[in-house]
Chains A and B, each alone.
Chain A
Amino acid sequence: MSETTPIIEMQNIKKNFGGVQALQGVDLVLHHNEVLGLVGDNAAGKSTLMKILSGAYIPDEGEIFIEGKKAHIANPWNARQQGIEMVYQDLALADNLDVAANVFMGREAASVKLGPISIMDEHYMGQETQRLLNRLKIDISSVRLKVESLSGGQRQAVAIARATAFNNKVTIMDEPTAALSVAAIDKVLDLVRELKAQGSSIIIISHRLEDIYKVSDRMMVLRHGRKVCDTPVAGNIDDFRERVVAYIVGARDDFAEGVGKQQ
């Protein structure tokens, strides 16, 4: 595996929902230790593309390669096992469970295994969750609080904590800054930088272009289920915004395949 092999490569991904062509042959490349911003208008297909990568949806057509090897992602469990974690747009938390239980949902730590029955190691999970919250500088008074009693920002933080708890290779964040205060947004962006510094590769979806501009190395625009732009993040923010918005709303449509690959 050389450094130039992308960590993720999605080729010609197509997905229909009934009559809706959500994705019409999209390619995506994510390099090692890169932050990729994914933008586009509502219903452009951003979440659908990422849910295919995280195993939540099966594509109708197309292939996925992880570190150059063809990957079979049939369900979310497959994706998690291959080091892909996603923070979903609706957060996907279980309100009836506490913070630690949500962070470890689906991969509970077991202390003893007796056939089909595994006894949970609650203390380990509690301590790990506390450590994680400290590392992410998340302010939640107890890991035993039920998620239903948390604020919007705290819920967001729990979802992010879950996605970054297991030394994964790729973290996908679907609008992690939606519904957050300015201070909380900065925290999330700091966290993205921190994860990158630790060697992670990240895809971040946002409607806030300044967020993408601040943390991303490269940016990709989807429109009506097609990739219409793929460009390094560079230049000053006003020019950047103007150019990107033109692609998002369809005022420009001159994207040539290969621009993104020059990087």
Chain B
Amino acid sequence: MSTKRFKTSFMKDVSKTLRQNIRDWGMYIALLTIMAIFTITTKGVFISSRNIGNLIDQTGYIAVLAVGMTLVIVIRDIDLSVGFLAGFLGAVAAISMVSWHLPVYASIPVVLGLGVLAGLLTGFLVAQMKIPAFVATLAGWLGYRGALQLATMSRGTIIIPSDAFNAIGNGYIPDIPGIGILPGVHKLTLILGVVAIALFIISAINNRRKMRAYDSKVLAMHLFIIELVFVSALVGAITWVLAGYRGLSWTGVVVLIVVIFYNFVMSRTVLGRHIYAVGGNPEAAELSGISVKKVTYVVFASMGLLAALSGILFASRFKSATTTAGTLFELDAIAAAFVGGASPSGGVGKVTGSIVGAFVMMSLTSGMNLMGIDISYQYIVKALVLAGAVIFDIAARNRARE
């Protein structure tokens, strides 16, 4: 009798929490479902360490753009220029090493700095000149495309000779030598994964304890434990799969740093709060003393920085700069953000969501490629996923409002 009552109240808690956070949880469930389907249809090839490792490296340059695009979409803007900006800055990186003979450690900061400048220019057009972001960045799309073609005109493709630079897109973190146990498994990756899980659990428990002091509505204990187990299992599984091949790639490290940093800024800092406030109600934000202009500048500057990073990751992965580098990156990044739960009407969107969105889209590509599905069908499937995600969003939001 009492266990039965416990069960019904438990199910009620679960369904209530699921309903309230359906978008967050739905994303992870969707990604896991997609991965499970491809694992079955490809007889395990999809989930192999090698394929997952590649998947992460292929997603990297879109993922960092999607992170920046999330912020842009949160403040109700859009940035169409970042694809060719990434391509152009990748070419600048190549030229700086090949023609100007800059060492890698000088070339990368220069390119990142140029990215920030380009972002500030967009910010100036949008915040100062009040040009709608769509138009301002469409101009950027044209301009950077031209600049990319100019930069690569003389040689077509610029081969990058620097091994250090090319390692960013192709290399892996070193392993700890001389450990006998678990041969063939990347120990440092494993250790990092375990540390990450431990840190996550400690901070979650800490946070929950403090929150109880003033908020009676903290997650019920059993749900909290489910959440801990779910996230830990997910991180653990990814770690295990990666450790089975060559470990964590440098691209993976870059993406992780970007995600952790941006997630921290957006959820824990005053700046992040101001970005959400501006997205939720710009007039209210301004009236409460937040400078919408300043926030707009910061968001576009960060977008420029991440476009530069994306360009570096892409150039490094292909060890070269090409005339078409960056083509359609911006649309992939925008799609990732929307699949990841960002709202076109602004104020809503998480960095982690966009990353998951990027992996959903790239998993579809990778899985369907492995299955030998024609590219035309791939586009149609992705169209359905994008439309489905947004329809799901709108339905969930309407239900929450009732």
Hey, which bits of chain A sit against chain B, CB under 8 A? 54, 56, 75-77, 80, 86, 88, 91-97, 101, 105-108, 110, 116-120, 122-123, 126-127, 130, 141-144, 148-149, 162
B348 near A106: Cβ-Cβ < 8 Å: no
Could you tell me the distance between the alpha carbons of A130 and B280 in the complex, rounded to whole angstroms?
A: 23
Which of A92, A122, A142 is within 8 Å of B287, CB to CB?
A92
Could you tell me the distance between the alpha carbons of A92 and B282 in the complex, rounded to whole angstroms?
A: 9
A76 near B289: Cβ-Cβ < 8 Å: yes
A120 near B270: Cβ-Cβ < 8 Å: yes
B273 near A126: Cβ-Cβ < 8 Å: no
Q: What 0/1 pattern do residues 262 to 297 of B give for CB contact below 8 A with A? A: 000100111101001101110111111111000000
B400 near A: Cβ within 8 Å?
yes
Task: List chain B residues, Cβ under 8 A from A107.
Answer: 288-289
B155 near A: Cβ within 8 Å?
no
Least CB distance from B280 to A in Å reads 3
B139 near A: Cβ within 8 Å?
no
B213 near A127: Cβ-Cβ < 8 Å: yes
Could you tell me the distance between the alpha carbons of A97 and B74 in the complex, rounded to whole angstroms?
A: 12
**What would 21 A/B residue contacts be, using CB atoms closer than 8 Å?**
A54-B287, A56-B286, A76-B288, A91-B284, A94-B277, A94-B284, A95-B280, A96-B280, A97-B280, A105-B284, A105-B285, A107-B288, A110-B270, A117-B270, A117-B271, A119-B268, A120-B273, A123-B213, A123-B214, A143-B214, A144-B217
A92 near B283: Cβ-Cβ < 8 Å: yes
Say yes or no: A95-B281 contact (C-beta < 8 A), given A101-B273, A143-B215, A144-B217.
yes
Task: List chain A residues, Cβ under 8 A from B284.
Answer: 88, 91-94, 105
Given contacts A126-B215, A148-B401, 7 further A-B contacts (CB under 8 A): A92-B287, A94-B280, A97-B273, A105-B285, A105-B288, A117-B265, A142-B215
A144 near B271: Cβ-Cβ < 8 Å: no
* Ranked 9 nearest A-B pairs via Cβ: A94-B280, A106-B288, A77-B289, A96-B347, A96-B280, A92-B284, A106-B289, A142-B217, A127-B214
Least CB distance from A114 to B in Å reads 9
Task: List chain A residues, Cβ under 8 A from B269.
Answer: 117-120
Q: What 0/1 pattern do residues 388 to 402 of B give for CB contact below 8 A with A? A: 000000000000110
B216 near A: Cβ within 8 Å?
yes
Task: List chain B residues, Cβ under 8 A from A106.
Answer: 277, 285, 288-290
Least CB distance from B300 to A in Å reads 16
Task: List chain A residues, Cβ under 8 A from B285.
Answer: 94, 105-106
Could you tell me the distance between the alpha carbons of A110 and B211 in the complex, rounded to whole angstroms?
A: 17
Task: List chain A residues, Cβ under 8 A from B400.
Answer: 149
Which of B210, B265, B277 is within 8 Å of A97, CB to CB?
B277
Least CB distance from B402 to A in Å reads 10
Task: List chain A residues, Cβ under 8 A from B277.
Answer: 94, 97, 101, 105-106
A97 near B214: Cβ-Cβ < 8 Å: no
Task: List chain A residues, Cβ under 8 A from B214.
Answer: 123, 126-127, 130, 143
Count of chain B residues with a beta carbon within 8 Å of a chain A beta carbon: 31
Could you tell me the distance between the alpha carbons of A141 and B280 in the complex, rounded to whole angstroms?
A: 22
Task: List chain B residues, Cβ under 8 A from A127.
Answer: 213-214
Task: List chain B residues, Cβ under 8 A from A119.
Answer: 268-270
Say yes or no: A144-B287 contact (C-beta < 8 A), given A118-B271, A149-B401.
no
Task: List chain A residues, Cβ under 8 A from B347.
Answer: 94-96
Task: List chain B residues, Cβ under 8 A from A92.
Answer: 281, 283-284, 287-288
Name the residue in B210, B287, B289, B347 with the highest tally of chain A Cβ atoms < 10 Å from its Cβ.
B287
Could you tell me the distance between the alpha carbons of A144 and B287 in the complex, rounded to whole angstroms?
A: 22
Task: List chain B residues, Cβ under 8 A from A77.
Answer: 289, 291
Could you tell me the distance between the alpha carbons of A101 and B281 in the complex, rounded to whole angstroms?
A: 13
**Which residue of the partner chain A has the closest CB to B346?**
A96
Name the residue in B210, B273, B279 with the highest tally of chain A Cβ atoms < 10 Å from its Cβ.
B273
Say yes or no: A126-B211 contact (C-beta < 8 A), given A101-B273, A117-B265, A117-B269.
yes
Could you tell me the distance between the alpha carbons of A110 and B284 in the complex, rounded to whole angstroms?
A: 21
**Which residue of the partner chain B has the closest CB to A163?**
B288
Least CB distance from B281 to A in Å reads 4
**Which residue of the partner chain A has the closest CB to B348?**
A96
Least CB distance from B24 to A in Å reads 14
Task: List chain A residues, Cβ under 8 A from B280.
Answer: 94-97
A76 near B273: Cβ-Cβ < 8 Å: no
Could you tell me the distance between the alpha carbons of A117 and B400 in the complex, rounded to whole angstroms?
A: 33
Could you tell me the distance between the alpha carbons of A107 and B213 in the complex, rounded to whole angstroms?
A: 22
Least CB distance from A47 to B in Å reads 12
Could you tell me the distance between the alpha carbons of A106 and B289 in the complex, rounded to whole angstroms?
A: 5
Task: List chain B residues, Cβ under 8 A from A144.
Answer: 215, 217
Least CB distance from B52 to A in Å reads 33
Least CB distance from B285 to A in Å reads 7
**Which residue of the partner chain A has the closest CB to B277?**
A94
**Which residue of the partner chain A has the closest CB to B271?**
A117
B268 near A80: Cβ-Cβ < 8 Å: no
Task: List chain B residues, Cβ under 8 A from A117.
Answer: 265, 269-271
Task: List chain A residues, Cβ under 8 A from B287.
Answer: 54, 56, 76, 86, 88, 92
**Which residue of the partner chain A has the closest CB to B279?**
A96
Least CB distance from B140 to A in Å reads 25
A120 near B281: Cβ-Cβ < 8 Å: no
**Which residue of the partner chain B has the closest CB to A80?**
B289
Could you tell me the distance between the alpha carbons of A101 and B268 in the complex, rounded to whole angstroms?
A: 12
A123 near B288: Cβ-Cβ < 8 Å: no
